[in-house]
Structure 1
Amino acid sequence: MRPIAEFPAADAAKISTVFTDIDDTLTSDGTLPAAAYAALENLRNAGINVAAITGRPAGWCDMIARFWPVSGVVGENGAFYFAYDSSLRKMRRAYFADDATRTANKAKLDHIRTRILAEVPGAAISADQPYREADLAVDFCEDVPPLDQNAINRIKQIFEQEGAVAKVSSIHVNGWYGDYDKLTMSRRLTKEVLGFDMDAEKHSIVFCGDSPNDAPMFGFFPNSCGVANVLDFQGQMEATPRWIARQKGGAGFVEIANMLLAAKL
């Protein structure tokens, strides 16, 4: 990981799209700073596509797609994307799995929920679970006293014992059934909403993130960026960002955005 200050200006000038995680990438201490939100708007006004790529639930993503200065949102770690067309006043929703499959998966996730709550003291189901459509989010530090690494590993292990995929973020362990992640649905959003081939033009995209569930994105994009708190997960990620901001959370995102905006002048 190299300092964001060393990001070549010529490469920064070619960036057409910014994908960003939300929790602890745009946010700081659980809130969205005005400066981070303004950075999203400044990027869009500069002609740069912006999309949020998050583990947060469908209910939140509907609001974000409607009201934030973004072209779309990938939610629940790749279960779907939402994109709002303000001229048509229409929300576009694309899911990895159909309704019947999501319903069947929910029954299996309910069993996992029971196991985790029984076997991992202190774990809780995320407060945003009622707004989810495809996954189960287990809280290990957002609204509960922080669990130790062994407990977090045990939550992930239970998901995997039941044949589910499990990813660790900075606040939750998310589990689901289906061969998808943030990267696979970002590829679909890029093609269907932004209108270009993500694989062919990956050098023109910056992804910003902070935690292990961002590893597929870090590994794919040559210009992936981490906010400083990504260092908290050293040794726990399959791939790390190429570039790293000096600051954590929202302030780190602003640092990255300002670097890109300066290159457009």
Structure 2
Amino acid sequence: MRPLAECTLENFKDIRFVLTDMDETLTFKGRLAAETYSALERLQRADIRVIPVTAAPAGWCDQMARMWPVDGVIGENGGLFFRRSEDPHHLERDYWHQGQAAELARQQRELLISTIREQLPWARLAADQSFRQTSIAFDIPHESEKRQQLSQVIIEAGAEHTFNNLWALAWFGSYDKLTMAQRILRQVYGLVADQEQSQVFYSGDSLNDAPMFGHFKHTLGVSTIHDCLDELPFKPAWVSAGAGGSGFVEAADAILKGRISSRKSI
């Protein structure tokens, strides 16, 4: 993991897709700065597709996909993908589970919530749970023992789970940020494996970003990644000087400079 300031113009010259975590990667302390929003617009104007890949609930993703300068949003840690349709006031919605599988997963989530409420009465659903369609989010307990207890109940129920800087997340299905990102990149945008490594950039800040850090070649951790480095099984290639959105702006600037440089050399 090297400081982003050390990268050369050549590093990101082939990037065509910027995938990024949202909470505390685009935002900082829960707020989205104007310069970060502007960076998203600048990337799009350079014909780079921008896709937030977040654990945030469907309700948040709906708003982002409709109104932000992005090409779509992967939400709930891989459970769904929303993007604008040809009619800019409508969305196309793609879910990891469809039909009967989606109904079964919904029933499993309801049962898990009941089980956790019974076995761990201190556990609290996240305030945004009512906006979720494919996952369960709990406020993260401060005590490591309680985190372990929550993890154990989720595992025993047969669910997947992870933590980020806001939530303890649980869902039913063999997917995560990476598997849904690969599905979208391949099925919607036609990328093949080699192109994923040369053309895709990912930025994040938390434990649930580890699969993305482990798979993609071009990755960045904003500076707060240092808070969870000891727990990360895979580390990003680069680290920004700034936290949250300011770190993302550093990355956008580096990508755009590399793109301009590559065009001048043609």
TM-score, normalized by length of structure 1? 0.91
The alignment covers a number of residue pairs equal to 260
Amino acid at match of 1:235: D
Q: Deviation string for 1:202-258 (max 9, x for gaps)?
A: 221110001111111000011111101111112212211111111111111111111
Distance verdict in 2 for CA 1:38–1:122, change over 3 Å: farther
Taking the aligned partners of 2:239 and 2:190, their CA distance within structure 1 comes to: 29
Amino acid at match of 1:71: D
Q: Who is 2:221 aligned against?
A: 226
- 1:262 and 2:254 aligned: no
Distance verdict in 2 for CA 1:115–1:13, change over 3 Å: same
Distance verdict in 2 for CA 1:41–1:9, change over 3 Å: same
Q: Deviation string for 1:162-188 (max 9, x for gaps)?
A: 110001111101111111111111112
Amino acid at match of 1:188: R
Q: Deviation string for 1:15-67 (max 9, x for gaps)?
A: 11100000111111111111111111111111211001011111211111111
Deviation at 1:200, TM superposition (A): 3.4
Q: Who is 1:150 aligned against?
A: 145
Taking the aligned partners of 1:251 and 1:116, their CA distance within structure 2 comes to: 38
Deviation at 1:76, TM superposition (A): 0.8
Taking the aligned partners of 1:105 and 1:44, their CA distance within structure 2 comes to: 35
Q: Who is 1:55 aligned against?
A: 55
Q: Who is 2:201 aligned against?
A: 206
Q: Percent identity?
A: 37
Worse-superposed segment, 116-125 or 67-76: 116-125
Q: Who is 1:74 aligned against?
A: 74
How do 1:101-112 residues align onto structure 2 when only pairs under 5 Å count?
101-112=101-112
Taking the aligned partners of 1:15 and 1:2, their CA distance within structure 2 comes to: 19
Q: Who is 1:185 aligned against?
A: 180
Taking the aligned partners of 1:227 and 1:120, their CA distance within structure 2 comes to: 34
Structure 1: which 5+ residue stretches go unaligned? 141-145
> Secondary structure of the residue that 1:166 maps to in structure 2?
strand
Worse-superposed segment, 84-93 or 20-29: 84-93
- 1:27 and 2:22 aligned: no
Amino acid at match of 2:240: A
Distance verdict in 2 for CA 1:6–1:122, change over 3 Å: farther
Q: Contact 2:66–2:89 (CA<8 Å) still a contact in 1?
A: no
How do 1:149-168 residues align onto structure 2 when only pairs under 5 Å count?
149-168=144-163
Q: Deviation string for 1:90-129 (max 9, x for gaps)?
A: 4222111113322222222223223434554653111111
Taking the aligned partners of 1:98 and 1:19, their CA distance within structure 2 comes to: 24
Taking the aligned partners of 1:88 and 1:127, their CA distance within structure 2 comes to: 29
Worse-superposed segment, 198-207 or 179-188: 198-207
Q: Who is 2:263 aligned against?
A: none
Q: Who is 1:143 aligned against?
A: none
Amino acid at match of 1:58: A
Worse-superposed segment, 213-222 or 107-116: 107-116
Q: Who is 1:246 aligned against?
A: 241
Structure 2: which 5+ residue stretches go unaligned? 261-266
Q: Who is 1:129 aligned against?
A: 129
TM-score, normalized by length of structure 2? 0.91
Deviation at 1:89, TM superposition (A): 4.9
> Secondary structure of the residue that 1:127 maps to in structure 2?
coil
Taking the aligned partners of 1:172 and 1:198, their CA distance within structure 2 comes to: 31
